[in-house]
Chains A and B, each alone.
Chain A
Amino acid sequence: MSTSAAEVILSYEAELRAALADLPAGDVEALLGDVRFHLEEVAAETAAADEPVDLVAVLGPPDAYAEELRAVAGLPTSTSPVGRHWTSTWPAIVLSVLVLVGGAILSAAVWTSTGNEGYLPPALAVFAIGLGLTIAVRASPESRRAIDQRWSALRDEMRATGRGRELLAMVSAAESGWWLVRAYPAVMLVELLAGDPRSVTYPLPSFFGTGTFGGAVVLCLTAVASLWLGLRFQRSPSGRWIGLAVDLVLVAGLGALLFHPGEWTPAACNGWPGC
């Protein structure tokens, strides 16, 4: 089987899994346990010579296929329009805001009690944002599915044009780069949240007093682990969502690191601007 046919099959399967993401894992496995074999058979039986496999033309859109599978299995169908799913995200959004407000109050309490205009308030706020977003994502599979569908449609539109394909290739390359880069805010955030602020150093972390060499080693190991995790979870729809939630926390953390270094007053700044 050609690489492109294998990609088409994997992509179709991933979209099926995304369309069934609101079901318990056992039900999804019961429905899709053999689907890779089946899609390969369909591709082999229907592919015309010298033409790419087009599973959507043969089987219909993955969403419709998933709906039919639900109906055959006697599982609840999701026939409501995509837009309607947004209403079910409101409880999750309210919950996120509550967590955020809770985080801010906690930050203020810590700030007041320690008298330290330091790293803790922004760090706790980052934590609260991340927790809220993660809860929002985990609590509302319908919204995940709706966003997955929209993203899938957008990607199909982009693939239809040369410029769109270039842009997608660029995004894919940038994603791998980000998996390496995110190791830095991850290590710095761990040190800021769990360590002694006076021992935090910039730009290379000393990582709990192991020195800049130790910090550099930890950074490299984290970068490799991050790349591995990114590649591993890329193919799973739920893995991509968890990755996105983690990335948002790290981006917020990176922002906090860049815009508030002066407030943290670490003892060893190593010439970091604003210290």
Chain B
Amino acid sequence: MDPSQLLKGSLDLAVLAVLAKADSYGYDVLRQLRSTLWSELGDASVYGTLRRLLTAGALSTYIVPSETGPHRKYYALTDAGRRELEDGRKVWTTVATGMDLLLEPDQGRWHEHVRR
């Protein structure tokens, strides 16, 4: 199964979660997501998600000058972004718990849940 389809609807949440840990720049966000979620995650998907969240007001940016390389554009969560992350976390927990249950090989647990 292609993980990109699974990630499609949850990339916003993943990007917000990365930036909730620390402000970061685009390529670093990509690197963290590749090491955590999927090594073949597309650069354009992450860059596009950052742009969309920025336009929606969930992120703000600031420039960090560098003497050795190019200046970095850092992304940070706004208050709206933090609220979106919290809402997303609740939805994710519900869906993930349900999916875990559906995928549980032990039929007994499943029947017990349905009977309840």
Contacts and interface: CB of A to CB of B under 8 A. Distances in A.
Interface of A: 1, 30-31, 33-35, 37-38, 40-45, 58-60, 65-66, 68-69, 71-73
A1 B27 contact: no
Interface stretch (B48-56, B84-92, B98-106, B107-115): B48-56
Given A41-B26, A59-B43, A72 B61 contact: no
Contacts of A69: 44, 47-48
Contacts of B42: 60, 68
25 contacts: A1-B69, A1-B70, A31-B51, A33-B51, A34-B51, A34-B73, A38-B27, A38-B73, A40-B70, A40-B71, A41-B70, A42-B27, A45-B27, A58-B43, A59-B44, A65-B44, A66-B44, A68-B44, A68-B45, A69-B44, A71-B48, A72-B11, A72-B48, A72-B52, A73-B48
Contacts, number: 65
Interface residues of B, number: 22
A1 B69 CA distance: 7
Interface of B: 11, 25-27, 42-45, 47-52, 54-55, 61, 69-73
Nearest to A44: B69
B43 A37 contact: no
A65 B44 CA distance: 6
A30 B26 contact: no
B70 A37 contact: yes
A43 B52 CA distance: 23
Nearest to B69: A44
Contacts of B27: 38, 41-42, 45
B48 A38 contact: no
B70 A44 contact: yes
Nearest to B71: A37
Contacts of B51: 30-31, 33-34, 73
A30 B44 CA distance: 13
